[in-house]
């Protein structure tokens, strides 16, 4: 039947599994928004922005950047990595383009929605249930970035709208990275009581620990120089953000469209192969007599006492290795051992996507001769921001990064010219890597900064 895919995109992290938590929570909330599937994608984790469209089942895809403000990521990185021709500010109502046969509706980030003012006030009330308007200042805290002044607009608009409610004697937008600096909050609030609300998407170590310390606040509610200073939790993790997101995605002009034929063919091939028992990387998929499938680490075959993992927990469970380390690139060796998932046939796709996102679609495309390979030079030329220096990396530096990272990865780096005869779908064991991942790009950047011995 025709349907619509919703993609919720976030930044993610190479280092910290918690960074993607807010995006996953938003995706769960949006399961009730009327789409036929809701998927996530990340800049620094898998499924990556480059892969994620291929994982969409339907030819109609709504893309929501789960970002708090407009700027470098929403205006440059995400459109570019998704293959949109649009660059720059996204107009009201979003941008609609066709990418590889799919109609993509790319929306503005949720943080600029006027309804976020209500969320901001909710956060303020949480930390300070009552205040006297004429004696209280609101400080909206943002990161700020000189690279794109528009990233400040959401913060300034939020402060302006909150100020217009008449609930504060004064409302100011202050920044961590640029003037007016958050550390100067005393100068901007006179002798008033202060409520500070971080206008951030997620609740990181930075928000909870380093920021209050940098601002000289001993706790969420501090009595300093005869006034009360309250420090709220970030707006992005408030449950009410769910209804803002729902309104945003429901306003998009998406209509149900057919299932993508290549996607359907890839998963039909996977299911057929799994019916005979299949290894995908370190994962073993075994058919069960009742038509379900069992998934576990191939090295755990025959083991008893494996921990049963429900499908909903599978992505998070396999996103860490047995030492608890984050696995941003899922095909790097280190799939944890000791677990077992049993899934009905109709959930095999979701289970495999949770463990190894995008590998089935990419393997099927490679077997069909339809997986475009992006050589390193092209990937490097596309990089911007802090990764721009990789454009001048020598072949030796790229080779050094490959030896450090690709050697521990189950994928074959086709982008570096390595051959791959048969994938796990066509009788072999290979997993194609059509383009250097962001972990490799980042490693090349680090090698350029501080060459390893």
Q: How far is the CB of 63 from ligand SF4 (least distance, A)?
A: 23
Q: How far is the CB of 437 from ligand SF4 (least distance, A)?
A: 3
Binding span for ligand SF4 by CB under 6 A among 296-304, 317-325, 377-385, 434-442: 434-442
Per-residue binding letters, 359-398, with ligand SF4 (x by CB under 6 A): ----------------------------------------
Binding span for ligand SF4 by CB under 6 A among 2-10, 77-85, 287-295, 431-439: 431-439
Which residues between 258 and 287 bind ligand SF4 (CB under 6 A)?
none
Q: Are strands 193-198 and 136-142 parallel, antiparallel or unpaired?
A: parallel
411 binds ligand SF4 (CB under 6 A): yes
CA nearest neighbour of 438 among 12, 114, 137: 12
63 binds ligand SF4 (CB under 6 A): no
* Residue reference for tokens 């440059």: 76
Question: Which three-class secondary structure state does DSSP give residue 375?
Answer: coil
413 binds ligand SF4 (CB under 6 A): yes
437 binds ligand SF4 (CB under 6 A): yes
Q: CA Rg, the chain, in Å?
A: 24
Q: How many CA atoms lie within 13 A of 330 on its CB side?
A: 25
At 209, list the tokens. Answer: 């620990």
Among 23, 112, 343, 440, binds ligand SF4 (CB under 6 A): 440
436 binds ligand SF4 (CB under 6 A): yes
Nearer to ligand SF4, 221 or 407 (CB): 407
CA dihedral 224, 227, 233, 234 (to 10 degrees): -100
What is the DSSP code (8-state) at residue 232? P
Produce one character per residue of 146-180: b if its CB has 16 or more CB atoms within 10 Å, e if not: eebebbbbbbbbbbebbbeeebbbbbbbbbbeeee
Which residues between 316 and 345 bind ligand SF4 (CB under 6 A)?
329, 331
Report d(CA 238, CA 242) in Å as an integer: 8
77 binds ligand SF4 (CB under 6 A): no
Q: How far is the CB of 362 from ligand SF4 (least distance, A)?
A: 10
433 binds ligand SF4 (CB under 6 A): yes
Burial class (CB within 10 angstroms; exposed 0-12, middle 13-18, buried 19+) of 191 = exposed
User: Interface residues with ligand SF4 (CB under 6 A)?
Assistant: 329, 331, 405-406, 409, 411, 413, 433, 436-437, 439-440
């Amino acid at each position: 039947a025709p349907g619509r895919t919703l993609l919720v995109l976030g930044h993610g992290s190479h280092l910290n599994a918690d960074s993607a938590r807010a995006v996953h929570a938003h995706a769960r909330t949006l399961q009730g928004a009327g789409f036929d599937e809701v998927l996530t994608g990340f800049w620094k984790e898998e499924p990556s922005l480059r892969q994620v469209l291929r994982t969409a089942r339907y030819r109609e895809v709504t893309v929501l950047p789960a970002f708090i403000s407009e700027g470098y990521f929403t205006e440059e990185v995400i459109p570019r990595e998704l293959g949109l021709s649009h660059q720059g500010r996204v107009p009201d109502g979003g941008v609609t383009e066709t990418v590889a046969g799919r109609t993509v509706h790319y929306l503005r980030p949720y943080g600029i929605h006027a309804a976020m003012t209500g969320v901001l006030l909710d956060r303020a009330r949480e930390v300070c249930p009552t205040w006297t308007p004429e004696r209280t200042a609101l400080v909206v805290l943002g990161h700020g970035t000189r690279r794109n002044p528009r990233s400040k607009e959401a913060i300034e608009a939020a402060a302006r709208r909150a100020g217009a409610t008449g609930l504060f004697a004064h409302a100011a937008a202050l920044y961590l990275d640029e003037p007016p600096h958050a550390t100067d909050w005393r100068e901007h609030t006179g002798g008033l009581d202060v409520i500070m609300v971080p206008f951030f998407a997620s609740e990181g170590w930075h928000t909870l620990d380093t920021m209050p310390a940098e601002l000289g606040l001993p706790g969420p509610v501090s009595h300093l120089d005869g006034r009360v200073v309250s420090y709220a939790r970030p707006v992005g993790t408030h449950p009410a953000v769910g209804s803002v997101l729902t309104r945003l995605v429901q306003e998009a002009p998406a209509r149900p469209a057919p299932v993508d034929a290549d996607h359907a063919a890839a998963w039909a091939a996977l299911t057929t192969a799994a019916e005979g028992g299949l290894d995908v990387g370190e994962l073993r998929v075994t058919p069960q007599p009742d038509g379900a499938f069992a998934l576990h680490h191939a090295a755990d075959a025959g083991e008893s006492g494996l921990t049963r993992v429900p499908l909903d927990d599978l992505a998070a469970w396999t996103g860490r290795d047995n030492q608890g380390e984050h696995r941003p690139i899922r095909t790097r060796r280190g799939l944890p051992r000791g677990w077992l998932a049993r899934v009905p046939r109709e959930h095999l796709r979701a289970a495999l996507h949770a463990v190894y996102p995008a590998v089935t679609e990419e393997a099927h495309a490679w077997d069909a001769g339809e997986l475009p390979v992006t050589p390193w030079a092209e990937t490097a030329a596309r990089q911007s921001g802090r990764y721009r220096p990789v454009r001048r990396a020598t072949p030796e530096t790229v080779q050094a990064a490959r030896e450090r990272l690709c050697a521990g990865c189950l994928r074959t780096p086709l982008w570096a010219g390595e051959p791959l005869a048969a994938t796990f779908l066509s009788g072999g064991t290979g997993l194609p890597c059509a383009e250097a991942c962001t972990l490799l790009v980042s490693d090349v950047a680090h090698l350029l900064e501080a060459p390893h011995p």
